[in-house]
Structure formats: structure tokens, C-alpha cells
Structure 1
């Protein structure tokens, strides 16, 4: 290919970021997925387990494996949701709050370095482009399903 495609640039960049985060997470005996999960849980009120998957863009089975793993490590605890008797709230333990802070520090460092290297206007354009791509996908403007049988 003479020209790089948009999806290739997104995928290659995300894979590089994921590798970088996983390398950094190793120093904390963790993974990027664990850090992302900890950052997705409200540190004060907890987060309903049913809201966590959609918030993170993860399938329930993958998320339940991560939750089981981080619960075994003592990072989270499950408590009944007072607003919904059938639901469960995921709360961070004190150890989970510590590890969440480590994850947040890593993400903030990445953002800080990128902001130093990229002009604010270019970064704003980047966010506008990603927002547009997400909207095109959400609005099903890229691949329209054919509802008639041919």
C-alpha cells in the first residue's frame, strides 16, 4: 500500500500504546487491562457491575474474568447495590485505591508527555477526528446493513 489507511494508523498506534502501558504495568505487577478496570470504577461510590462493561467497551465474559482476578488480588470487593436489590456494586479496596492511583499516574504521565510534544491545536483536531469516527460508527454511517434479502 502506498498510502497508510486510517484504521491501520489507529490500530498500530493503539497497539504501541497498549504495549507501552503493559510494560509499565509490569513494574506494578499488573496489566493494562487491570489498570483500565480500576480507573473505570468510581473510587467514592463504586460502580454497578452491569455499567462497567459498557463503560469500558468490554464483553461481559472478558470483564468477569478481570473482576474475578482483581477480586482475588484484593483490589475490589462486591457489595449489594442499595438502589437495586439484584445488582452488585464494585468497590475499590484500600489496596485497589493505591493501585488505581498508580494507574492514573501512568496515564497522566503519558498525556503530559504527548501534550508537550504536540501543539494544542493539533491535539484538538485529533480529538475532533476520533469523535467524528466514533459518531460515524455509532450512527452506522459506514456500513449500512441491508435489511432486504436478495
Structure 2
């Protein structure tokens, strides 16, 4: 991957991970988005539907489709938020909690496998690089930089 751009490597890797998770989820008549939603919903307290999208990094229309499918499969139920009558809380059903454990174990297996093949030092470096990239994006430091700020990015 020597002559590949950073964004290409990130995208290709994420697509491979996504494909892997979707292939695994497909065995259980699910999707990666469903598994991620199951892991993002609080097991006991439920989660406001408005908080779920940002937590998952999903657009509202995709999230609505995912939640509708999950509700149809009996994984979640929606209840009015008692503190805010306009809002909705999403709760896992017992079946949803069961499938959540399956999703959790799948993610843990992936992490365990990666950790077996990559040293702790390399993983820490990867995490640090990913964190810096996220900060640069969140701070809008990629395309809104002054010429002098390029020097600061290169510093360790």
C-alpha cells in the first residue's frame, strides 16, 4: 500500500471491515447497522432516538430505516419519553438483548483477532493517528489551514 493516499487506505480498510461484519450479520438475518444500533442502545435505560444517530454517525433517514426494520423483527420497542413528550426512547426487547450479546461477541472476536496479529505498540500508534485525523477534521484544520499551521501538524 506504499503509494496509496491516507484517505484511500482508510476507505478501503473500512469497506473491508464493513463487508466482513455484514457477511457475519447476514448469517443471522441482520446487518452491520443493526448490530451497531443494538450496541448503541442502553440495555436498561433505553436511548433517545435523537441521540442514537449522532452516537452511530448515521443520517436520520438511514437510522429511521434501520430502526423500522429492527422494530419489525422484534429487536426494539419505542416508547414516549416521559421527560419530553415529543421525544421517543428506544428500548431493547429481550430478543434484542440476546442479539446485542451476539453483536458484542462478534466485535470482541474481531478485536481479539487483530490484537493477536498486531503489537500493542502498533495498535497504540494506529489509535493515536486515527485520533489526530479525527481532531483535524473536527477542528476543520484540513482545508481551512493557514500556511504556517502545516508546520504544527508535522510535529510529534
Match of 2:56 in 1: 56
Match of 2:135 in 1: 135
Could you tell me how far 1:2 is from its partner in structure 2? 6.8
Match of 1:27 in 2: 27
> Structure 1 residues 5 and 110 mapped into 2: Cα distance closer, same or farther (>3 Å)?
same
User: Where do residues 75-114 of structure 1 align in structure 2 (5 Å cutoff)?
Assistant: 75-114=75-114
Aligned partner of residue 43 in structure 1, secondary structure:
coil
- Structure 2 regions of 5+ residues with no counterpart? 146-156
Match of 1:8 in 2: 8
Match of 2:37 in 1: 37
Provide the rounded CA distance (Å) in 2 between the counterparts of 1:83 and 1:115: 43
Matched length: 145
The two structures have a TM-score, normalised by structure 1, of 0.93
Provide the rounded CA distance (Å) in 2 between the counterparts of 1:61 and 1:26: 22
- Structure 1 regions of 5+ residues with no counterpart? 146-150
Aligned partner of residue 91 in structure 1, secondary structure:
strand
Please list the CA deviations of residues 52-89 of structure 1 after superposition, one character each: whole Å capped at 9, or x if unmatched: 00111111111001101110111000011122221110
Aligned partner of residue 134 in structure 2, secondary structure:
helix
> Structure 1 residues 126 and 2 mapped into 2: Cα distance closer, same or farther (>3 Å)?
closer
Provide the rounded CA distance (Å) in 2 between the counterparts of 1:38 and 1:2: 37
Match of 2:46 in 1: 46
